[in-house]
Amino acid sequence: MNIPPATTRLRGIFTPNIVPLTAAGEINEAELRRYTDWLIERGVHGLYPNGSTGEFTRFTPEERRRIVAIMADQAAGRVPILAGAAEANTRETIRACEYYHDLGVRAVAIVSPFYYKLSPDGVYAYFKEIAVNSPIDVTLYNIPMFASPIDVPTVQRLAHECPRVVAIKDSSGDMPHMLRMIQAVRGERPNFSFLTGWDAALVPMLLMGCDGGTNATSGVVPEVTRRLYDLTIAGHLDEARAVQFRLLNLFDAMLYSADFPEGFRAALTLRGFATGAGRQPLSENQQVDISVLSRTLQCLLADEGFVDEPVGGCPAGEATASDVDTTQVRRIVDTVVAELTRRGLV
Amino acid sequence: MNIPPATTRLRGIFTPNIVPLTAAGEINEAELRRYTDWLIERGVHGLYPNGSTGEFTRFTPEERRRIVAIMADQAAGRVPILAGAAEANTRETIRACEYYHDLGVRAVAIVSPFYYKLSPDGVYAYFKEIAVNSPIDVTLYNIPMFASPIDVPTVQRLAHECPRVVAIKDSSGDMPHMLRMIQAVRGERPNFSFLTGWDAALVPMLLMGCDGGTNATSGVVPEVTRRLYDLTIAGHLDEARAVQFRLLNLFDAMLYSADFPEGFRAALTLRGFATGAGRQPLSENQQVDISVLSRTLQCLLADEGFVDEPVGGCPAGEATASDVDTTQVRRIVDTVVAELTRRGLV
Amino acid sequence: MNIPPATTRLRGIFTPNIVPLTAAGEINEAELRRYTDWLIERGVHGLYPNGSTGEFTRFTPEERRRIVAIMADQAAGRVPILAGAAEANTRETIRACEYYHDLGVRAVAIVSPFYYKLSPDGVYAYFKEIAVNSPIDVTLYNIPMFASPIDVPTVQRLAHECPRVVAIKDSSGDMPHMLRMIQAVRGERPNFSFLTGWDAALVPMLLMGCDGGTNATSGVVPEVTRRLYDLTIAGHLDEARAVQFRLLNLFDAMLYSADFPEGFRAALTLRGFATGAGRQPLSENQQVDISVLSRTLQCLLADEGFVDEPVGGCPAGEATASDVDTTQVRRIVDTVVAELTRRGLV
Amino acid sequence: MNIPPATTRLRGIFTPNIVPLTAAGEINEAELRRYTDWLIERGVHGLYPNGSTGEFTRFTPEERRRIVAIMADQAAGRVPILAGAAEANTRETIRACEYYHDLGVRAVAIVSPFYYKLSPDGVYAYFKEIAVNSPIDVTLYNIPMFASPIDVPTVQRLAHECPRVVAIKDSSGDMPHMLRMIQAVRGERPNFSFLTGWDAALVPMLLMGCDGGTNATSGVVPEVTRRLYDLTIAGHLDEARAVQFRLLNLFDAMLYSADFPEGFRAALTLRGFATGAGRQPLSENQQVDISVLSRTLQCLLADEGFVDEPVGGCPAGEATASDVDTTQVRRIVDTVVAELTRRGLV
């Protein structure tokens, strides 16, 4: 028996989680359970396994199911679960929807087709077939930097035709695009939910009508994203804005200093979890870069009071990416280049 | 004698204006003066001649000077003027700065170098040379869809080194980028002003710390952008948001239905100004498209109470770009394609 | 026991094949075997299952193995096989390499990591781990429109460090990029092979040093791509060029008139194969578009002498995408738009 | 009196020249005359002032005219001149066409509208108006990285409607695009000329039907581009290919190591011309980068026998961008980063 489409909006911060792995590269179930508890205790409104942060493409179909099963079991209904359910094709995806439905998750999230870049008509046909056959609510997942974009008319058309489609998660960070979607859909579907996946614009998105977010930073600093959400909803704009600016620092450091989601994995390690190494191998250079990043992240997390400063301390004042004395770095690099030139190496 | 750098921020909506032309393609001075008065009377905080809306690249250096001279004379100090001053190279640009300084404008705006895509170092060197030599305040103008992007470290560096650089106008519409700039600069330069050129995100930009905007819609519906600004500053968020959604409709219709800024020119004609044809020639198809667009715009402007509905009336409800019955259009187009196929034409 | 790295270059046209499906959406083994024979009989130099044309992402891991097993069994050593072997992560990919090795394929092709956009260092680390552990030769697969780009230094580094990496298949169609790769690698690795996946530039790529291609058109008109290859290698430049221009028409029609690879599937149907519907669902509009496309393709194939003209005949002269009387189409569309406007629909 | 449209194709290498400047930043007429002679004596087929290499946007309208006047006077009919004639709008551009016509140049080249990104219809309308009013032949100039792209249907339409449009110069380096243009136009307009502006693909472009090029490297090593052209036309494919690979090294070094066209200016200085500094100011970092680049360029030019090796000598073997020991550089950079980290700077 299918659950009827929801009559209330999805709201709040749904946390896309890193999957801890053992030294052998297998899912670390014990750590995943401990992480699930930790997130719930720190106030996240929901869980979002098999998201991009969860590296869903790097697991097998069986592993994806197992991740959700473990987390659903551990959460035990304390918070709703939004389960990433995209598989190789619509038939496999629908089967996954059925499986997650049986686990009792609140809804599934389906990323737009990726690898191939589909036309809007192709994106529509894909979601339509899934929505018609899914036993549970479906959240569209738009992440144009990785997958075929879901444009506004397609969202509107799916919202109009498919009661089972109840939300969109948009990770573009594009404010006008979000406003256009809200305007195109909210009149007809007042309970349709708009979630932003772009932590760097969380406060303004909430102010303009978003219902929440699926934000990777909430997997690292759930206390901060919860506070940001509560302050914004309560209308404490000045404080919310201040938290947004601090979150932006952390988000940028985790996002832009390493291949995604390695920065988030490094930060989660600092919060005390045995994440293990990811499944995407890292070159030696990348490992060095992550060591450097970890120190920066530790300073940022120390600033928030979550960890101690690293040995040797942090730069004075608020730690930001721009704290680097770029002039000094430049001067050193110039010296190096000059030396290389002298030796005839460049 | 140079004016010292300003000690107060640029604030409010500075209107980038279309330049009315005569049938012979010359600047229509009388209409430009009438338009200047009309804008000031409707509450714009400032004027912004020689912006992208003002098609600065399509005028000669002498014409660009004349446009500012006419408007400065007509404004007669009632509102400040931000004059677009980019010329072929830094030497010519500095001369233009001197000329506009003598006219008494409040500041100049310099678009980042275009045609060639410069590196951040090149963008820095360009603005630095101008800032050091300009007798009046300089606003950086970032419009990455048309010109070399000005990245956050470059803004920070120029703000740090150049007291003469007092503001940035950013037309990317990218909220996280705006937040990063504010965070990088405001601490050191509390009077540095952040203006957004992207009308589709005006309310959230103002909510997050922007000081105002240079918004092409304000040249067409100055009453609306002024109301939006006042509501936002006063903290009437619900009303401000509603105005933002309406403005978005109008902005999108003007921006995406014709080569920029033809949609804005068409709308200004509907408001009663003899804009004349632009200097970029239009194909027959484009002229047809603009006729269709004009009808849509008239309905949108009628909705706001500025003009009568077109003969034949407007669709019921709020007129939006999505009011089109796309299914019906599709069906008709399919019929056409089938007919073309039958005739062996495609 | 591993096969030692090859001492001769991969050469010629390796055909990436569409996978025929039954009405139930399962692999149509009988038709796939018939198609395999047909390709070999028409002169393709090799087979390339699980390529992008083969929609590898839309099959399960088990199905991908089965497709190669069927084709390897049917080919029975008549031509070499290059098997697409990318799976969810390096461990799964290495297992697939082992499986394909046991089937006796000539080499595997591994697409660069997709969905996530990796840095060059990440791309390097990924291929390095696979190359070190694969029992058979590895072809790098660069397709920057769909997957993380493999840049020239990374190709050079992998070619330098990994004897097991014996070739690159590049589907960018970017001639200077191909020249840079050849220049960076050929000196050190004279048997390293360069294959182009971009049919629109096949002749010039071969002329400048490529060893062959993996070309989707060869799955539809293997006679033509073989002729093109032979003419080019034999130095008959005028004739080769003429064939290239004709192939370009067909390629563009198949590639740009429908979401990939639907145009190729439609054309293969015209060549007499029961391809079945693809796994990506199509909207009604898409189905109409493909009907229109099929007629165009039938005319292009009739031009080559492979099929009869469609009922009603083809336009006079060589059928090309530009045969459409665009002025007439415009006029009709204008009429439609005017009528829609009159009815107040737009 | 107008010159009738040409009945023979433009052919060969037309050199886009750097404009030497004096210490005061003015056009260095004596050096420009000497440079003009030098180019003609080294075998360039034509001259192409006011191209992108010539930084046409950084000169005033009067200066652009003067540059052509000086070169036309100096060339004195020895080689044809293709004069860049784009001005602020179509009226100004047509006036420039008239001026260049009176100077006796062979044709003008008009870059597609830039800054604003025009639709294909807008691009068409722009060139149509110019073509109808120009007294001399017009070459379309497509450079999509800097200006509105000219798509294939637009080229075809203009070639069909405008006898005055006699050629296209395409700087995209996109081989399939070039083939599509040739196929769309050559049948109807056998004397329409196709020139490539992308030196990295000059040989294959010529092999596939291009008539020549407007190539910035020919302003630095005219002997090489002339040899490349002659070898290709004569059918000496192996030698032509070898020259293409060497030219690619030089082109990449000049193009990618500095903001365009600074690398070309640096190389021209090495050939013995007093180019002066460009009009776009350079940061200190950029000046250091160009010093490093100059050494590399000197080695590349020494390899060709045009200059002596720099003091201290060049790396053994053919100098290429990839001669850098990147591992060693990495190690040094890692050391620097580690040191910076230790000092708490990053």
Tens digits of residue pLDDT in A263-294: 999 999 999 999 999 999 999 999 999 999 99
Task: From D243, D254, D180, select the one nearest D216 (Cα to Cα).
Answer: D254
- For an interface test with A, the pick among C110, C116, C129, C285 (most A C-beta atoms closer than 10 Å) comes out as C116
- Scanning B12-151, the segments in alpha helix (DSSP H) are 29-41, 61-75, 90-103, 120-133
Tell if the CB–CB gap between B200 and A179 is shorter than 8 Å. yes
Q: Helix D120-133 crosses helix D152-161 at what angle (to 10 degrees)?
A: 20
What's the rounded mean pLDDT across residues A64-91? 98
Assess whether pLDDT exceeds 70 at residue C331: no
Q: Is C184 on the interface with D (CB under 8 A)?
A: yes
A78 and A39 Cβ atoms separated by less than 8 Å:
no
Specify the long-range contacts of residues D322-329, CB closer than 8 Å, at least 24 apart.
D322/C152, D322/C153, D322/C156, D322/C184, D324/A345, D324/A346, D325/A345, D326/C153, D328/A340, D328/A345, D329/A340, D329/A345, D329/A346
* D125 vs C: CB within 8 A: no
pLDDT at B326 over 70: no
pLDDT digits (tens, 9 = 90+) for D231-287: 999 999 999 999 999 999 999 999 999 999 999 999 999 999 999 999 999 999 999
First vs last Cα of chain B: how many Å apart?
A: 69
Residue A317 pLDDT > 80, yes or no? no
Note whether D90 contacts B: Cβ–Cβ < 8 A. yes
C129 at the A interface (CB within 8 A)?
yes
By CB neighbour count within 10 A (0-12 exposed, 13-18 middle, 19+ buried), where does C209 fall?
middle
Give just the sign of the alpha carbon dihedral D252, D257, D261, D264.
negative
Chains near B with 3+ CB pairs less than 8 A apart are: A, C, D
Tell me, yes or no, if B129 comes closer than 8 A to chain D by beta carbon: yes
Q: Closest Cα to residue B113, out of B97, B129, B98, B99?
A: B129
Cβ-based neighbour number of residue A287 at 10 Å? 14
B115–D259 C-beta distance less than 8 A: no
Is residue C18 classed as helix, strand or coil in its secondary structure?
A: coil
ipTM, 2 dp? 0.91
Chains in contact with A, where contact means 3 or more Cβ–Cβ distances below 8 Å, are B, C, D
Mean confidence (pLDDT) of chain B:
92
- B209–A207 C-beta distance less than 8 A: no
Please indicate whether, in this complex, the C-beta atoms of D173 and C173 are within 8 angstroms of each other: no
Can you state the angle between helices B222-233 and B237-256, rounded to 10 degrees?
A: 150
pLDDT of residue C346: 45
**Is D58 an 8 Å CB contact of chain A?**
no
Q: Are B129 and B102 in contact (CB under 8 A)?
A: no
Lowest-confidence segment of A8-22, B320-334, C249-263 by average pLDDT = B320-334
Asked whether the predicted pLDDT for residue B312 surpasses 90, the reply is no
Give the closest residue to B300 by CA, choosing from B263, B260, B262: B263
- SS3 label, residue A111: strand
Determine whether the interchain pair B208/A175 forms a contact, defined as Cβ–Cβ distance below 8 Å.
no
Token duo for residue C286: 């898409």
Chain C interface disruption, residue of D179, D327, D328, most C CBs within 10 A: D179
- The predicted pLDDT at position C120 comes to 98
Mean pLDDT over the full length of chain A: 92
What pLDDT band is residue B315 in, cutting at 50, 70 and 90? confident
CATH number of A12-342: 3.20.20.70
Return the number of other C-beta atoms located less than 10 Å from residue A157's C-beta.
Answer: 21
Give the integer Cα–Cα distance in Å for C83 and C71.
10
Backbone angles phi, psi at C168, to 5 degrees: -130, 135
Of residues A67, A87, A82, the one with CA closest to residue A20: A67
Give the number of other Cβ atoms within 10 Å of residue B119's Cβ: 17
Cis previous bond, A176, omega within 30: no
Pairing label, strands A12-16, A46-48: parallel
**Nearest-CA distance A282 → chain C (Å):** 6
Question: Binning pLDDT at 50, 70 and 90, where does residue B321 land?
Answer: very low
| Residue B180: other Cβ atoms inside 10 A | 24
What is the C-alpha to C-alpha distance for residues D260 and B118, in angstroms, rounded to an integer? 8
Please calculate the CA angle B232-B237-B241 and round it to the nearest 5 degrees.
Answer: 90
Can you tell me the mean pLDDT for C45-58?
A: 98
Chain D hits for B286, CB-CB cut-off 8 Å, are 119, 121-122, 125
Q: Residue A346: its pLDDT value, please? A: 46
Sequence-separated (6 or more) residues with CB below 8 Å from residue D331: none
Asked if the Cβ–Cβ distance from D341 to A288 is below 8 Å, we say no
Q: How far is it, in rounded angstroms, from Cα C137 to Cα B60?
A: 63
Under the banding of pLDDT at 50, 70 and 90, the label for residue B309 is very high
Cross-chain CB nearest to D285 (options B116, B121, B145):
B121
Predicted model pTM: 0.92
Q: Which chain A residue shows the shortest CA-CA distance from D286?
A: A334
Among B292, B337, B338, beta carbon nearest to C337:
B292
- Give the separation between CA B245 and CA D312, rounded to whole angstroms: 66
Q: pLDDT for D187-213, tens place per residue?
A: 999 999 999 999 999 999 999 999 999
3-state secondary structure of A12: strand
Distance CA A263, CA A252 (A): 10
D102-141 pLDDT tens trace: 999 999 999 999 999 999 999 999 999 999 999 999 999 9
- Please report residues of A whose CB lies closer than 8 A to that of D295: 341
Distance CA C262, CA C258 (A): 6
Which one, of A293, A320, A297, A321, lies nearest residue A309 by Cα? A297
Residue B297 has pLDDT above 60, yes or no: yes
Q: Which two tokens stand for residue D69?
A: 């006047």
> Nearest by CB to C328, which of B285, B337, B345?
B345
- pLDDT for residue C3: 58
Q: ∠C141-C41-C137 over CA atoms, to 5°?
A: 30
* Residue A203 scores a pLDDT above 80: yes
Residues in chain A within 8 Å Cβ distance of C115: 52, 57, 114-115, 146-147
CA distance C38 to D328: 53
Q: How far is B289 from chain A (nearest CA, A)?
A: 21
10 Å Cβ neighbour count for A224?
A: 21
- Alpha-carbon distance B109 to A281, whole Å? 48
Average pLDDT, chain D: 92
Does the pLDDT of residue B129 top 70, yes or no?
yes
Q: How many CA atoms lie within 13 A of D327 on its CB side?
A: 6
User: In this predicted structure, what is the pLDDT of residue A58?
Assistant: 98
Contact A204 B252 (CB under 8 A): no
Q: Chain C: nearest CA to B299, how far in angstroms?
A: 11
Cα distances (angstroms) measured from residue C236 to each of C214, C230, C311, D203: 22, 9, 36, 17
Q: In this complex, is the C-beta atom of C306 within 8 Å of any C-beta atom belonging to chain A?
A: no
pLDDT tens-digit readout, A25-68: 999 999 999 999 999 999 999 999 999 999 999 999 999 999 99
**Optimal mutation site among A259, A262, A289, interface C, most CBs of chain C within 10 A:** A259
| Closest by Cα among A212, A300, A305, A304 to A264 | A300
Beta bridge partners of C167: C139, C193
Residue A327 has pLDDT above 50, yes or no: no
Q: Indicate the residue type of B31.
A: E
* Other Cβ atoms closer than 10 A to A331: 11
Q: Do D183 and C326 touch (CB under 8 A)?
A: no
The answer to whether the beta carbons of residues D105 and D82 sit under 8 Å apart is: yes
Q: Which of A331-345, B146-160, B285-299, D151-165 has the lowest mean pLDDT?
A: A331-345
CA closest to B200 among chain A residues: A176
Quick one: pLDDT band at residue D2, thresholds 50, 70, 90?
A: low
Q: Burial, A338: exposed, middle or buried (Cβ in 10 Å; 0-12, 13-18, 19+)?
A: middle
Q: What are phi and psi for residue A7, nearest 5 degrees?
A: -110, 0
H/E run at residue D245: helix D237-256
Chain D residues with CB under 8 Å of C201 CB are 175-176, 179
- Tokens, residue A326: 């770029």
- For A:265-284, CB contacts with D below 8 A are none
3 state SS of A15: strand
Contact flag D183-C248 (C-beta cutoff 8 Å): yes
Question: How high is the pLDDT of residue B323?
Answer: 41
Minimal C-alpha gap between B322 and chain C (Å): 9
**Contact (Cβ atoms closer than 8 angstroms) between residue B187 and residue B195:** no
Give me the total of CB pairs closer than 8 Å, taking one residue from chain B and one from chain D: 112
A326 touches D: beta carbon within 8 Å: no
| Cα gap B304→B319, rounded to integer Å | 11
For chain A, state the CA radius of gyration.
21
- CA pair distance D218, D43, nearest whole angstrom: 10
Q: φ and ψ at C67, to 5 degrees?
A: -60, -45
Checking if the pLDDT of C239 tops 90, the result is: yes
Question: What is the per-residue pLDDT for B316?
Answer: 72
Residue D127, SS3 per DSSP? helix
**Residue pointed to by tokens 């449009």:** D165
Residue D22 CB-density burial (10 A; 0-12 exposed, 13-18 middle, 19+ buried): middle
Distance from CA of A143 to the nearest CA of D (A): 26
